Amino acid sequence: MASRQKKCGQGRNRTVDTWIFSPLLYRLSYLTTQYVPPLQRAGKKSIIKYAILLALCLLCTTVAASAGERHTWQYYYEKGMIQLKGERYDDAVYSLMRCLDLNPTHYEAANLIARIFVITNRRERAIDYYRQSLAIKDDQADIHCALAEVYDYFSEDTQAFRHYERAVALDPGHVRAHAWLAMHLQRRGDRAAAQEHFKASYRLGKTAAGGILKRAREADRAGKARRAAALYRQVIQEAPAYIEAYFELYDLLYRMKDYASAVETLERFLVLRPDNEKAHILLGDCYFTRRMPGDRKRQIERAIAHWKRVIEINPDNFEAYRALAMVYGFIGKDIEAKEYEDKANRIEDRLQNVRGR
């Protein structure tokens, strides 16, 4: 018995029990020595997973960048044009800026960006892109005029004047540039030169916008007031010196009882032609006799200013004196009313005596 037990313990000195369970013990021993805690295993799996995701993201970015690089400046310019037509202004600006990045000499893209900034009332930024365009290609009369109009908006008269002059020099047939150059020359006291440029603008404007004015008159006669007003405004935009368009639009708006827009039309005309007697007469009458939104006191003050301007332009206009007498009487200034009435009577008597001779 003892020998049998010894025999069974020989070799690796295993007992019968250990011999029986040795595979299980071996497996347990292996697992013990090779054991990795669950959190550590999960961590390793997470690191691998995120590494794979990062590699995929980098691959996608590289592919997208490669695809983007394949687009040419022509692609972005055409895309920007389409977006501009659809009034997607921010998208259009982005596309056109990409066009400029790829082709820094593309002055047309710079012009469109500037135009969008004017449309969206970001005129300060428009100046930069108009100047960039002219730095690339200076012989653009329309862009010189457009830049001058932006400078006018900010009352930068010197810069505006310079670009209007350049526009006319490049294109002697430029309707708008002649008109606004005349305005600046008038302000500088050069009446002869101002008159010359105004006449040139008027003559050119009749040719350029005469057809539109004809359609406006036809629409007015047909009772299509809003259509007529839109066409009159188009004439004024394209041919600022076309005098008839201002007065006919004023008359139309007056009949529509849109007095605020009516006076705005003639006030705009007086920026161009501040010495037009008829415009001052109509404005003085409308401000005083018609009720409009806003401060009534301010409107009466405007009426007085316009009637006084009529007298400065034509001291023999006794009707202007009578109008002032009426306004001053209305606001309770009887002394001033009497003075203007007496002046009106004296002027009228003198003119009648002259005509009777």
- Tell me the per-residue pLDDT of 198-208, one tens digit each, with 9 for 90 and over: 999 999 999 99
Question: Can you name the CATH fold of 72-128?
Answer: 1.25.40
**What is the gyration radius of the CA atoms in the chain, in angstroms?**
42
Domain ranges of the chain: 72-128, 277-357
Is the pLDDT confidence value at 323 over 60?
Answer: yes
Residue 33 in tokens: 């020595």
Rounded-to-integer distance, Cα 14 and Cα 10, Å = 7
Measured CA to CA in angstroms, residue 293 lies from 85, 186, 260, 307 at distances of 35, 32, 7, 21
Averaged pLDDT score across all residues of the chain: 87
pLDDT, one tens digit per residue, over 51-106 is 565 655 555 544 444 444 578 999 999 999 999 999 999 999 999 999 999 999 99
CA atoms within a 13 Å half-sphere pointing along the CA-CB vector of 180: 32
Q: What is the mean pLDDT of residues 270-280?
A: 96
Query: Are 109 and 128 in contact, with CB atoms under 8 Å apart?
Result: no
Query: Are 25 and 18 in contact, with CB atoms under 8 Å apart?
Result: yes
Query: Are 73 and 102 in contact, with CB atoms under 8 Å apart?
Result: yes
Is the pLDDT confidence value at 221 over 80?
Answer: yes
Given the structure tokens 């012989």, which residue do they identify?
A: 139
Q: What is the mean pLDDT of residues 151-176?
A: 97
Is the pLDDT confidence value at 159 over 50?
Answer: yes
Same fold, 72-128 and 277-357: yes
Res 355: pLDDT: 77
Residue 172 in tokens: 């002697």
Res 15: pLDDT: 42
Residue 355 CA, distance from chain mean position: 55
Residue 257 gets the label, from left (phi > 0), alpha (psi -120 to 50) or beta, of left
Res 6: pLDDT: 42
Question: Can you name the CATH fold of 277-357?
Answer: 1.25.40
Is the pLDDT confidence value at 224 over 70?
Answer: yes
Is the pLDDT confidence value at 283 over 90?
Answer: yes
| Predicted confidence band of residue 140 (pLDDT cuts 50, 70, 90) | very high
Rounded-to-integer distance, Cα 159 and Cα 64, Å = 45
Is the pLDDT confidence value at 41 over 60?
Answer: no
Q: What is the dihedral of CA 318, 321, 323, 329, to 10 degrees?
A: -140
Q: What is the mean pLDDT of residues 207-227?
A: 97
- pTM (2 d.p.): 0.76
Rounded-to-integer distance, Cα 13 and Cα 352, Å = 153
Res 50: pLDDT: 56
Q: What is the mean pLDDT of residues 10-37?
A: 45
| Predicted confidence band of residue 263 (pLDDT cuts 50, 70, 90) | very high
Res 70: pLDDT: 74
| 244 vs 36, more confident | 244
